Chain A
Amino acid sequence: MGAALDGVRVLDLTHLLTGPYATRFLADYGADVIKIEPPGGEPGRWLAPFQGGEPDPERSGVFFALNLNKRGVVLDLRRPAGRDALLRMAAGADLVVDNFRPGVLERLGIGYEALREANERVVLLSVSNFGQTGPYRDYKGSETILYGMGGEMFSVGRVDREPLKQGGTVALFQAGGGALVAAMAGIMAARRFGIGQWIDFSIYEALASSADRRVMTMMAYAYSGQIATRQGEAVFFSNGIFPCADGYVELFAEQTKWDRFVRMLGDPPGLLGPRWREPGALSDAALKEEFDVVFYPWLMTHKKRDIWRLAAEHSILAAPLYTARDLLDDPVFRERGAWAEVEHGVMGRVTVAGRAFDMSDTPWRLRRPAPLLGEHTEEVLAEAGLTPEMIRAVLGEAAA
C-alpha cells in the first residue's frame, strides 16, 4: 500500500507557524501539499534559528522542519496570472488552507465564493488568530498573547511573579494541531458526503478548548466560582523538580507509592517506619527536613537517566529534564526512529524530527526536504493544465 492520504491534494497558502505545522502532517502522511508563497518567499523563511546563524531564506531550521514533504510554488496572488493559476489549481484540490488576516483572501479575489466557483466541493480552512467574526476579529496575536488570553497561562508561575508562557511557540503549534483536525475533518466530509464548506478556525478558541487545563479551570469556575491562580510550593515534598548529579529530574511519589519510593532509595533507615505513612506526612515541614537530609545526597550521587530507569523499575513517575542535545543523544529515541536525515540543496544533510506516529500499513514517508523558493512552480502549474504561455506570465509577475 501507499500512504494514507494518497490522492489528496492541498493548496497551502499558509505562512509562519500555525498553518505550516498543520499542513506538514498532511504531507507527511501522503497528501500532495502544494505550498504557495509570494515572490521573495513567505515570512517563515526568516524565522531563526538559521544554519550558521545568519538570516538566509534557504537556511531557516524552523521553515525546514515545518515544510518537509511539501512542494513549493511562487505565485503573486495580487496579480491576474497568479490569481488565475491559483483558481485553476483549486479546481483539482480537496482542501485550500490559508491563515491570512480575515478579509484578505476576499480582497485578493480568491475568497470562498471564488474558490467554490472553481470547485464546488472544495473545502476552505481559514486559520486566524480570533476567527472570521466577533469583536476581536481584527486583533493581532502572538504566541504569548493568544496563550495568555485563551490558554491557562494565568495560573502558571510563582505567586509573587509574572505568569509564564510556554517554551518556543508551543501554543501556536497546539493550535496547528487543532487546525489539522479541522483540515482532515473537512476532507472526510467532502469525500464521504460531497460537502464543500468554509471552516472557520480561531487560534484563540483552540486554546480555550485546551485539555491542558483551560477547559477544566473554566468549568471549575462555572461550577464552583473558584479561580485558578499561581501557587506557592509543591503540596508534598516527594513531588517536584530536583537537582541531581548531572542536571535535574522531575519526580512524583505520592503517599500510596511511598514504600516503593523508599525502596528505590535503597531503604535508608531514616525513611522507614510508620510515621512516614501517616495521612499528611508528606506535607509535614519537620519530616521534610529529615527527608531532605537523606534525599539530596542520594540525588547528587545519581545521574538523571539512571534515576529515570530506577524510578521506572519501582513504578515511580519520573523523568529527566532533557535539553535538545540530550534528546538527540538518547539511544532509545534514536533506535525507535524519531529522527530523519534529509538531504537539502542548500544546507546539505539535515537532521530533523521525523514521523509523529507509525502506521503499520501506510507508513510515514520522507519524500523531499522543504522546498527551495519556487522549486516546483513550473512542474505544478503544468500539472494543473496551464499552457507554457500562462506559466511564463505567472513567472513574469513573480519576477517583477
Chain B
Amino acid sequence: VTAAPQAPDVRPLAGFRVVDLTVAWAGPFGAMLLGDLGAEVLRVENIHVWLSHTRNWRARPTRREVPATDPITSGYPYGEPGDRPWERSPAYVPLHRNRRSVTIDVRTERGRGYLKRLVEVSDVVYDNNVPETLEKLGITWEAVSAWNPRAIMFRAPAYGLRGEYRNYRAWGTHIEAVLGHTLLRGYPDADPSGTPPVYACDFQTGVIGAFAVMAALFARERSGKGQLVELSQAENGLSLFPQAIMDWTLNGVVQATTGNRGVHGEAPSGVYACRAGGWIAIDVCEDAEWRALANVFGRPELADAPEFATAEARRARLDELDSVLGELTRERDATALMHALQAAGVPAGEVQRADQAYHCPHLRGRGFFERLENRYTGAHDYPGLMFRMPASGLRIDPPTTLGEFNEYVYREILGLGEAEYEELVASGEIGDTFDETIR
C-alpha cells in the first residue's frame, strides 16, 4: 500500500514563517489571519512572564476567584478554570488557531540568541507591543534587518514608533477615545461617562496588519529585501471615521452621537424592543420598503399616509417613527419578525445574543463553524475562516497550547542537539506551564 500523494500546499502564504510576538487582542487577531492563509506562525511566549489581558487577567485563578460578571473573563469550559486556566480562556483560545506555540525566555542572553536564530530563518516578525518593550530586549528594526535582510518587521504600537505618544499605554478602548469614536456612539440623551467600551481598532489593526504584511511580502518578491512596516493603531483607525472627519475638514462641523440612527438618511432607523428581551434593528431606505413594512405589521394605512410616504417626510419625523415602530414591535418575536420583514424586502435584523449567533441557521448552513479539539479545552465548534477561497485549500489547525511546538522549533528549526534541548527543558527555561510563582 502506498500513501496517496500529498496535494501541494497552495495556500496564499504557504512557505512563509512568521514570528508572532503579539499581545492582547489586536496583534493575535492579525497573526491568526496570516496563519489562516497558510503562513507558519510561531507564537512566542515566555513561561516566566505573564502578559495580563492576553491569556486572560490572571494565570491561576481558583474557581472561587472567577468573577461572575463577564463571560469573556469567566467563561472557562464547563465553568472550571482547571489547573491550566491559561489554556482555557475564551478570550485567548479562539484567536490562537493556526499557530505553533514556542516558549523562549527572552530575558536571558541565551533566550535572545534563540530568538535571533529564529528571526534568521523567518520571513516576518509580527509585533504590537509598546515600542520600549522590544527596544529593551534589543529586538529593533536595526537588529532584525541585520540578522536577516529579507525579514519584514511589522510593528503596531497604539500610537506609532515615533512622536510624543510612542510609549503611551493603551487598550483598544483608549484608542477609540482618541479617535473620537467614544463620542460618536452612545445614547444621545445620556452623558458620555456611561458609554460602555467597544474595541473596533482591535479588529482593524488585525485586518490591516495582515494586509500590510502581505503587501511587504509581495514587494519582497521584486526587491529581495525586507522592510519595516509601522502601523500606529490610532492612525490606522482614522479610516473608520470618514463621515466625522470629513464633516470637520470640509465644513467645520463636529459630529455627535446619533445613537442607533443610521448616518446616511435611513428612516425609520433604529433598534426596537421586542418580546422577551429581544431587539430588532430596522433601517428603511426606500419608499417601497416602507410600504412593505406597513403591510407586514398589518397597518396598510401607514404606507400611504402623507407624513410617512416619502423618504423626505420620514426623515423629518424620526422621533415619531420611533414611537410608531416601538409600539408595533413590542409584542413581536424578534426572530420571527426579522424573517417576516426580510421576506417582504424590508432591511431588518435581530440583535443577536452570542448563543443566537452561535446557533444561527444561516451561519450553520454555510458551514461557518468548525469543530476543533485540543487537549485542554476538549472539542467545540469554533467560528471558522472569515471568507471562502475555494481553490486555496485553507484549513484550520486547532488552537495551540503553551510550548506545544518547543521540540519542533528548537530541534527541527534551530537544529539544537538533544543534550542542549534537554538541558533547556530541565533548567526550566522553557516548558509548557507558566512559572509557579505566577498566580
Contacts and interface: CB of A to CB of B under 8 A. Distances in A.
Contact of B383 (A178, A208, A315): A208
Interface string A334-362: 01101000000001001111011111111
Contacts of A144: 260, 262, 269-271, 281, 283, 349
A224 B74 CA distance: 9
B243 A178 contact: no
B83 to A, nearest CB: 16
B325 interface: no
B136 to A, nearest CB: 14
A177 B347 contact: no
Contacts of B168: 308, 312
A223 B389 contact: no
Interface string B136-179: 00000100000000000000100110111101111111110111
Given A5-B218, A145-B281, A351-B249, A212 B262 contact: no
A164 B71 contact: no
A95 B207 CA distance: 19
B37 interface: yes
B347 A66 contact: no
B386 A227 contact: no
Nearest to B193: A241
A121 B352 CA distance: 39
Interface string A211-226: 1111111111111111
B362 A61 contact: no
B223 A169 contact: no
A91 to B, nearest CB: 20
Contacts of A325: 248, 254
A135 B207 CA distance: 27
Contact of B77 (A130, A154, A208, A223): A223
B6 to A, nearest CB: 15
A272 B380 CA distance: 48
B245 A352 contact: yes
A226 B355 CA distance: 9
A180 B75 contact: no
A113 to B, nearest CB: 14
A320 B183 CA distance: 10
Contacts of B265: 48
Interface string A306-333: 0010001001111111111111100011
Given A133-B366, A145-B349, A164-B260, A185 B239 contact: no
B407 interface: no
A59 B352 CA distance: 37
Contact of A250 (B177, B245, B360): B177
Contacts of A49: 243, 246-247, 250-251, 253
Interface string A132-171: 0111100111111110111011111110011111111110
Contacts of A356: 208, 212, 231, 235-236, 238-239
A25 B25 contact: no
A112 to B, nearest CB: 10
B296 to A, nearest CB: 14
B407 to A, nearest CB: 28
Given A168-B243, A206-B386, A220 B185 contact: no
Nearest to B358: A218
A66 B242 contact: yes
A148 B170 contact: no
Contacts of B260: 144, 162, 164-165
Contacts of B390: 197-200
A269 interface: no
A273 B191 CA distance: 33
A189 B391 contact: yes
Interface string B398-427: 000000000000000000000000000000
A181 B211 contact: yes
Nearest to B26: A211
A182 interface: yes
A32 B318 CA distance: 42
B33 interface: yes
B180 A149 contact: no
A96 interface: no
Interface residues of A, number: 151
A231 interface: yes
B240 interface: yes
Contacts of B382: 215, 219, 222
A213 B199 contact: yes
B109 interface: no
A202 interface: yes
A226 B358 CA distance: 12
Given A145-B281, A352-B249, A353-B238, A217 B182 contact: no
Contacts of B111: none
A226 B192 contact: no
B10 A149 contact: no
B93 interface: yes
A306 to B, nearest CB: 13
A52 to B, nearest CB: 7
Given A148-B279, A317-B170, A322-B178, A221 B75 contact: yes
A317 B25 CA distance: 16
Contact of B72 (A184, A228, A316): A228
B421 to A, nearest CB: 34
A349 to B, nearest CB: 10
Contact of B245 (A163, A252, A324): A324
A315 to B, nearest CB: 6
A367 to B, nearest CB: 16
Nearest to B255: A324
A188 interface: yes
A185 B386 CA distance: 12
Contacts of A235: 67, 69
Contacts of A185: 12-13, 37, 214, 389, 392
A156 B200 CA distance: 13
A385 interface: no
Given A48-B243, A201-B387, A336-B235, A359 B216 contact: yes
Contacts of A357: 156, 208, 212, 229-232, 235-236
A165 to B, nearest CB: 5
Nearest to B346: A140
B180 A220 contact: no
B348 interface: yes
19 contacts: A5-B219, A24-B239, A144-B281, A150-B352, A152-B198, A163-B279, A165-B185, A166-B181, A168-B244, A189-B12, A223-B78, A223-B90, A227-B355, A241-B195, A321-B177, A336-B232, A338-B238, A352-B246, A359-B212
7 A-B pairs with the lowest CB-CB distances in the bound complex, closest first = A61-B246, A220-B75, A167-B184, A145-B349, A177-B207, A319-B174, A211-B29
Given A185-B389, A197-B392, A338-B235, 14 more contacts: A5-B215, A25-B211, A134-B363, A170-B181, A173-B240, A174-B204, A211-B25, A213-B72, A252-B174, A327-B179, A335-B163, A357-B156, A358-B228, A361-B227
